[in-house]
Structure 1
Amino acid sequence: MVEQTKASVKSKLLSNYSLLLAVVFGGFLIFGFSENVKGPAIPRMQSDFSLSEMQIGLLLALNSLGYLLACTFTGALARRFGVKTTTIIAFAAMALSGLFIYWAANYTTLSLSYFFMYIGNGLLEIALAILAARIFTRNTGMMMNLSHFFYGLSSMVAPLLAASLMGVQLFGSELGWRGMYALVLALSVLPMIPALFARVPGDEMKPEERLSLKSFIKDRAAWLIVGMLSFGVVSELAVGGWLVNYLEKVYGWSSDASAAMLSAFFLCFMLARLLLGPLTDRFGYTRSIIVLSAVSGLCSVGAIVAGESGAFLFALAGIGIAPIYPTVMALLAKRYSNGTETAITFTVTMMGVASVIGNFLIGAITDLFKGFFRSSPDAGLAAGLQAGYGFIAACALLCSVVAVMLYRYMNKRGELL
Structure 2
Amino acid sequence: MRKDRAYGSLLFIIYGNMALYGFIQTMRGVIYPIIKSHYGVSYSEQGLLVFLIQAVMVFSCVVSGIFLSRAGFRKTIFLGFGVAALGMIFFRFAGAYWTAAGFILLIQLGLGFFEIGINGIGARTFTKNSALMMNLLHFFYGVGATFGPWFGGFAANNPALGWRNIYLVSLIPAGVMLALTAFLLPAGAGKSSEKAAVDSAGDSGGTSPEKKYSLRWAVSNRLVWRVAVCLGLVGVVEYGATNWSGLYLLDVFGEDPKTTGAAFVSVYFLLFTVSRLVSGFVTEKIGYLRSVFFGVAAAVIILVTGFALGRGGIWLLPVSGLFLGVAFPTILAMTIGFFGKGAQSAVSVIIVISFSLNGVIQFLIGLINRFIGEAWGYRSGVLFGIVLLVLLTRLRRGKEQGTVRSE
- Structure 1 length-normalised TM: 0.86
2:251/2:375 contact within 8 Å kept: no
User: After superposition, where does 1:191-230 map in structure 2 within 5 Å?
Assistant: 191-196=177-182, 197-199=184-186, 200=189, 203-204=192-193, 205-206=196-197, 208-210=208-210, 211-230=213-232
Post-superposition offset of 1:348: 1.4
Post-superposition offset of 1:162: 0.8
User: After superposition, where does 1:17-166 map in structure 2 within 5 Å?
Assistant: 17-166=7-156
Post-superposition offset of 1:272: 0.8
- Alignment correspondent of 1:182: 168
Matching of residue 290 in structure 1 with residue 293 in structure 2: yes
Describe the shift of the 1:59–1:289 C-alpha distance in structure 2 as closer, same or farther (beyond 3 A).
same
Post-superposition offset of 1:113: 0.8
1:57/1:360 contact within 8 Å kept: yes
Describe the shift of the 1:301–1:96 C-alpha distance in structure 2 as closer, same or farther (beyond 3 A).
same
Distance 1:185 1:358 in 2: 31
2:90/2:103 contact within 8 Å kept: yes
Percentage of matched positions with identical amino acids: 26
- Alignment correspondent of 1:373: none
- Alignment correspondent of 2:310: 307
Describe the shift of the 1:281–1:242 C-alpha distance in structure 2 as closer, same or farther (beyond 3 A).
same
1:126/1:345 contact within 8 Å kept: no
- Structure 2 length-normalised TM: 0.88
What amino acid sits opposite 2:358 in the alignment? S
Matching of residue 277 in structure 1 with residue 277 in structure 2: no
2:224/2:349 contact within 8 Å kept: no
- Alignment correspondent of 1:247: 249
Aligned residue among 322, 326, 332 for 2:335? 332
Aligned residue among 336, 351, 354 for 1:351? 354
The SS at the match of 2:15 is helix
What amino acid sits opposite 1:368 in the alignment? F
Post-superposition offset of 1:221: 2.4
What amino acid sits opposite 1:28 in the alignment? M
Distance 1:194 1:220 in 2: 43
Q: Deviations over 1:75-107 (max 9, x none)?
A: 211112123321222222222220121122212
- Alignment correspondent of 1:406: 395
How many residue pairs match? The answer is 389
1:62/1:111 contact within 8 Å kept: no
Q: Deviations over 1:382-406 (max 9, x none)?
A: xx23321222222223223222222
Unaligned runs of 5+ in 2: 202-207
Aligned-pair RMSD on alpha carbons?
A: 2.4
The SS at the match of 2:384 is helix
Distance 2:326 2:49 in 1: 27
What amino acid sits opposite 1:221 in the alignment? L
1:49/1:106 contact within 8 Å kept: yes
Post-superposition offset of 1:335: 4.5
What amino acid sits opposite 2:237 in the alignment? S
- Alignment correspondent of 1:237: 239
Distance 1:100 1:34 in 2: 15
Distance 2:102 2:144 in 1: 25
Q: Greater shift after overlay, 11-20 or 271-280?
A: 11-20
Matching of residue 388 in structure 1 with residue 377 in structure 2: yes
Q: Deviations over 1:285-326 (max 9, x none)?
A: 222111111211221122112211122321111112112111
Distance 1:202 1:331 in 2: 26
Describe the shift of the 1:131–1:405 C-alpha distance in structure 2 as closer, same or farther (beyond 3 A).
farther
Distance 1:347 1:12 in 2: 38
Q: Deviations over 1:63-84 (max 9, x none)?
A: 2221121012222111121233
Describe the shift of the 1:138–1:236 C-alpha distance in structure 2 as closer, same or farther (beyond 3 A).
same
What amino acid sits opposite 1:309 in the alignment? G
Describe the shift of the 1:316–1:25 C-alpha distance in structure 2 as closer, same or farther (beyond 3 A).
same
User: After superposition, where does 1:355-370 map in structure 2 within 5 Å?
Assistant: 355-369=358-372
Post-superposition offset of 1:345: 2.3
Post-superposition offset of 1:112: 1.5
What amino acid sits opposite 2:226 in the alignment? L
Distance 2:300 2:121 in 1: 31
What amino acid sits opposite 2:265 in the alignment? L
What amino acid sits opposite 1:289 in the alignment? V
Unaligned runs of 5+ in 1: 1-10, 370-383
Q: Greater shift after overlay, 342-351 or 316-325?
A: 342-351
Post-superposition offset of 1:229: 0.6
1:102/1:182 contact within 8 Å kept: yes
Distance 1:390 1:156 in 2: 22
